[in-house]
Structure 1
Amino acid sequence: MSKRNFFAILALLGVFSAIGQKSKENKKYPPCDITEIPRYTAQKIKSPITLDGKPDEEVWQKAKKSGNFKDLIYGNETIHETKAAVVWDEEYLYVAYWVTEPDVTATLTERDSPIYQNNDVELFVAGEDAYYEFEINSFGTIYEVFFVWEDAYLSQGYDKVPNLGPNEEKKRDFKGVGYRHPRGNRYGFWNWDLQGLKTAVHVDGTINKSDDRDRGWTVELALPWSSLDILTKNSDKTTPPKHGDEWRMDFSRFNQYKEAEPAVDSGGWAWSSHGVWDSHVPECFTFIQFSETYVEAP
């Protein structure tokens, strides 16, 4: 990421923080309704998936899809359909997104550009004391950040992890976007990449051509368990997971357009609604339970 983009990101986050400052006060904890957080069983697969951005393999056809994403703040239905699914094997966590979008657009092509300024989909994977943020647009341009809660940074040894040291150039304090979390500050590392990550996007239509009608776009991700192991600190989780292990993950979509009034549309949609304009609330993430049962027929 260029220094210009990095500081642009910091400036934009500052704007979001200023906008959300008033809403941060007097919010309940957690801001979401915990009785409505979705629960999902991720089944195992027998053969690795070859990523091409088209989740049309047998495993994706048989895997259970999420419900349609709802508004991030209000929890109401959204104008276009967005769904996700999760499967896994001993090497990778696989995630797929199906995104309906009649006019697919994107502008950012440089890695770690502020992808949330485009229409994108996002994935957060949380541990007890840290979480990983991933974003991708329809060009396939990605953005990654790793966050560690300040109260665990030294005690859990994150300061000794490569690229997470106290003097990293792109390390900064992060207090959330639209919600003041009672746990306090996080350290964000904008220089951190998930090693071995695989991504692919397929567009069913034409990008940036508004005089035709598109169907949308799809995404396939493969996240190596060996790299996600950093999220198992201070927990009894393992990578790959054991049968019955439960992780917290967030799946969302952000749009630069909104449905016309009188509809109520924040522009952010998610599998699990957060009740606030802030994706950085792990207590509101979807529950993903891992099963040793296979998606494919015996």
Structure 2
Amino acid sequence: MKLRLLSVLALIPLFGYLVSAQTLIQLENMQTPPACYGVMKIDVPIQIDGRDDEQAWDLASWTEEFVDIEGDAKSKPPYTTKVKMLWDHECLYIYAKMEEPHVWGNLKKRDAIIYHDNDFEVFIKPFEQQAFYYEIEVNPLNTILDLMMPKPYRFGGDALMHWDVRNLKSAIHVEGTLNNPDDTDQYWSVEMAIPFKSLTTFSRKVTPNINDYWRVNFSRVQWQHELHSGAYSRKMKNGKYLPENNWVWSPIGIINMHHPERWGYIQFMDTVQHVALPKSYFAEKAAWNIFYLQQLYKKQHKKFADDLAELKNGKHVLEEDRKELVYAIFINRNKEGYVIEVKDVKHHLTVTLDNFGHYTVNYE
């Protein structure tokens, strides 16, 4: 691993937002590679009914089973969750199957806080260079919450709840009986058709091309429940709700889904092939590792480091990154702001990332 360290005096100080810093143990837990999935293209229609019994779904492989959001730091979830995906020129199709002996839900108003029920959540970041992303939540009653995040909460982002996925189609199937505690259910499933046009911005069309990558993740929120007069509700102890479980496709390493740099990758395909990580992944991972270490350093020293040698507590984390990377830190006079530059000499690209979380990927 090559290290090139530069310190630049800036005339204008850069003041970052308050960013929650992880412990070094949490950072070590955020080193697992993201999950990858190849989404097959189809040319036949799919009926959105909550089932996967159309022949087209036979073309889609299952994802790996969901794990705890903290990954290997926690035990395997007791109920299986897995997803498969397809696409055509109009939509991304998602089918999720969730093993569940007690299928229940209470929330019926659109854009209610759906994760107060057991729910399934979709996170989509279609543009590599842009910070914003989309979130869709659905419960077993097929009640939808959809929103757009201009940037993650930890960078001062605020959820735009008025945003809707126009022409979204979703359906639920319950293998069992909804809201009936007198029997044991098998599973509930979600089927969605997400129109690409609804994710398009004024200046950017989102319909993917063959081999394009998107950042995507899925989360299943699972609560312990109790019964009151035969009705399900979240379980309480000493007047407080017991904490929920968060089971995900691609683990984050900490309990926070709003780290899009830790989501999985989907690649849009028209033939069956192996899905590899995009070539920008290694430089991006290294840049974010330095970012996390800078947050830990500032928490202790009240300023950012201008030399990687000062981040010695995380040296072992950086040494796990690829040797083809060249690093630089450009820092302002008061050490209150910086820009990281990570160059991947093998893949001919450079990633820049500042203390605000703004980043770019420049391909030579």
Q: TM-score range by the shorter chain?
A: 0.7 to 0.9
State the distance in 2 between where 1:57 and 1:232 align.
36
Letter in 2 for 1:274: I
Helix, strand or coil: the match of 1:227? helix
State how far apart, in whole Å, the 2-side matches of 1:89 and 1:27 are. 43
Q: Are 1:68 and 2:65 matched, yes or no?
A: yes
Distance, in Å, in 2 between the alignment partners of 1:249 and 1:32 is: 20
Distance 1:46 1:97, change over 3 A: same
- In the other structure, the counterpart of 2:219 is 252
- The answer as to 2:15 corresponding to 1:48 is no
String of CA shifts for 1:121-143, please: whole Å, max 9, x gaps. Answer: 00010132211010000010110
CA contact (8 A) 1:123 1:133 kept: yes
Instruction: Note if contact 2:224-2:244 (Cα within 8 Å) is conserved in structure 1.
Output: no
Q: 1:202 and 1:27, CA in 2 relative to 1: closer, same or farther beyond 3 A?
A: same
2-structure distance, mates of 1:250, 1:290: 15
1:191-229 per-position Cα deviation (integer Å, ceiling 9, x unaligned)? 110111111111111111112010111111001111112
CA–CA distance in 1 between the matches of 2:203 and 2:261? 16
- The structure 1 residue matched to 2:209, chosen from 228, 239, 242, is 242
Alignment match, 1:268? 246
Structure 1 residues 231, 80: CA separation in 2 closer, same or farther (over 3 Å shift)? farther
Counterpart pick for 1:133 among 125, 132, 135: 135
Matches within 5 A, 1:281-296: 281-293=259-271
Aligned to 1:166: none
Counterpart-to-counterpart distance in 2, 1:88 and 1:198: 14
8 Å contact 1:131–1:231 — kept in the other structure? no
> RMSD over aligned Cα, in angstroms?
2.4
Partner of 2:318: none
1:117 corresponds to which residue? Answer: 116
Change beyond 3 A, Cα 1:129–1:31: farther
**Which piece of structure 1 moves more, 219-228 or 53-62?**
53-62
Contact conserved, 2:104 with 2:179, CA < 8 A, in 1? yes
Equivalent in the alignment of 1:202: 173
Instruction: Specify the SS of the correspondent of 1:97.
Output: strand
Q: Deviations over 1:243-272 (max 9, x none)?
A: 1100001111001129xxxxxx96000001
Q: 1:197 to 1:232 in 2, by over 3 A?
A: farther
Scaled by the length of structure 2, what TM-score is found? 0.59
Shift of 1:32: 5.7
Per-residue Cα deviation, 1:266-298 (whole angstroms, up to 9, x for no partner): 600000111111111101111001112279xxx
Which whole-Å deviations, capped at 9, do the CAs of 1:88-135 have from their partners, x for residues lacking one? 000001011001001101011111111100010000101322110100
Paired letter, 1:289: Q
Q: What SS does the corresponding residue of 2:198 show, helix, strand or coil?
A: helix
Name 1:8's counterpart in structure 2. Answer: none
Q: How many aligned residue pairs are there?
A: 232
Q: Which residue of 2 aligns with 1:261?
A: none
Gaps of 5+ in 2: 1-18, 226-242, 274-364
2:42–2:86 CA contact under 8 A, matched in 1: yes
Q: Which has the larger radius of gyration?
A: 2
Give the corresponding residue for 2:33: 36
- 3-state SS of paired residue (2:58): helix
CA distance in 1, matches of 2:117, 2:206: 33
Deviations 1:28-51 (A, max 9, x none): 697764543111110101112110
Mapped contact 1:130–1:231 kept (Cα < 8 A)? no
Between 1 and 2, higher relative CO (CA 8 Å, sep ≥ 6) is seen in 1
Structure 1 residue 27, shift from structure 2 partner:
4.1
1:47 alignment partner, SS class:
coil
Q: Deviations over 1:44-63 (max 9, x none)?
A: 01112110011121222331
Contact 2:30 2:254 in 1 (8 A): no
Identity of aligned residues (%): 34
Checking the alignment, whether the CA contact within 8 Å between 1:105 and 1:207 is kept in structure 2 is yes
